[in-house]
Amino acid sequence: MSVDCCHDHGKQDEDRPLGATRRALWAVLAINAAMFVAELTAGIWGKSVALQADALDFLGDSATYAMTLMVLGMSIRWRAGAAMIKGLAMGGFGFWVIGMMGYHFIQGSLPSAAIMGSVGILALATNLLSAVILFRHRKGDSNMRSVWLCTRNDAIANLAVIAGASGVWASGTGWPDLAVGAVIAALALSSSVTVLRLAQGELREEARA
């Protein structure tokens, strides 16, 4: 996502009725919570770093949607504060994935390419559905922007998981799985910085008002 897409952070997206936004958030919250359980189970069973990382990303997104619902309609200070928490959580998730990559590298785990590929396709379909639901709400403040970034990152990560599954199948090694984990970690850390900067800018504007 380009830097230009991150500039509309002055106030709540007034053109979108709060009721419609709440319904969209509840829908993607339910979708992501269900996918977290399914993908984590598959990741543990299939010994895949990428699937487990992506599953925890679904969990993080579920928490993000829940927190966004809590502060929806509140003041800029509350919404920016929630975005700060979510930005820090994204960063923590990125570092956690890096640690998990190190563990599986030491263990020499060989994931199941079939499980990675099939679950990756299911996860991609899930995130595309979430993206369609959230698309019209993507131009809001840092709080709603963080929601959109989470959904976008998940779709990119799913494509990487599918590519990683092909790599594991072709090479017979776990390196492609670890590479996908690195991509997911990088996305999380990059989005963390973006959301934190937006939230800090909103807090400064609120302080000057």
pLDDT tens digit sequence for 131-154: 888 877 666 666 667 677 777 777
Q: Do the beta carbons of residue 83 and residue 12 sit within 8 Å?
A: no
- Residue 99: which residues within 8 A CB-CB, separation 6 or more? none
Total of domains in the chain:
1
Residue identified by tokens 């700060």 is: 84
- Cα–Cα distance measured from residue 57 to residue 153, given in angstroms and rounded to the nearest whole number: 9
Kindly state whether residue 191 falls inside one of the protein's structural domains: yes
Distance CA 152, CA 125 (A): 12
Q: What is the mean pLDDT of residues 186-203?
A: 87
Instruction: Tell me: pLDDT of 28 over 60.
Output: yes
- pLDDT at position 138, please? 63
In a domain, 4, yes or no: no
CB 55 within 8 A of CB 40: yes
pLDDT, position 109: 81
Q: Is residue 179 part of a domain?
A: yes
6 lies in some domain: no
What average pLDDT does the segment 23-44 reach? 92
Note whether residue 182 is domain-resident.
Answer: yes
Decide which of 35 and 4 is more confident. Answer: 35
Kindly state whether residue 167 falls inside one of the protein's structural domains.
yes
Confidence of residue 81 (pLDDT cuts 50, 70, 90): confident
- If 0-12 CB within 10 Å is exposed, 13-18 middle and 19+ buried, where does residue 157 land? buried
For residues 84-99, give the mean pLDDT: 88
Q: What is the domain range of residue 56?
A: 16-208
% residues pLDDT > 70 (the chain): 87
- Is residue 7 included in any domain, yes or no? no
Helices (H) and strands (E) in the chain, counts: 6, 0
Mean pLDDT of 166-184: 92
Decide if 78 is inside a domain.
yes
pLDDT of residue 1: 33
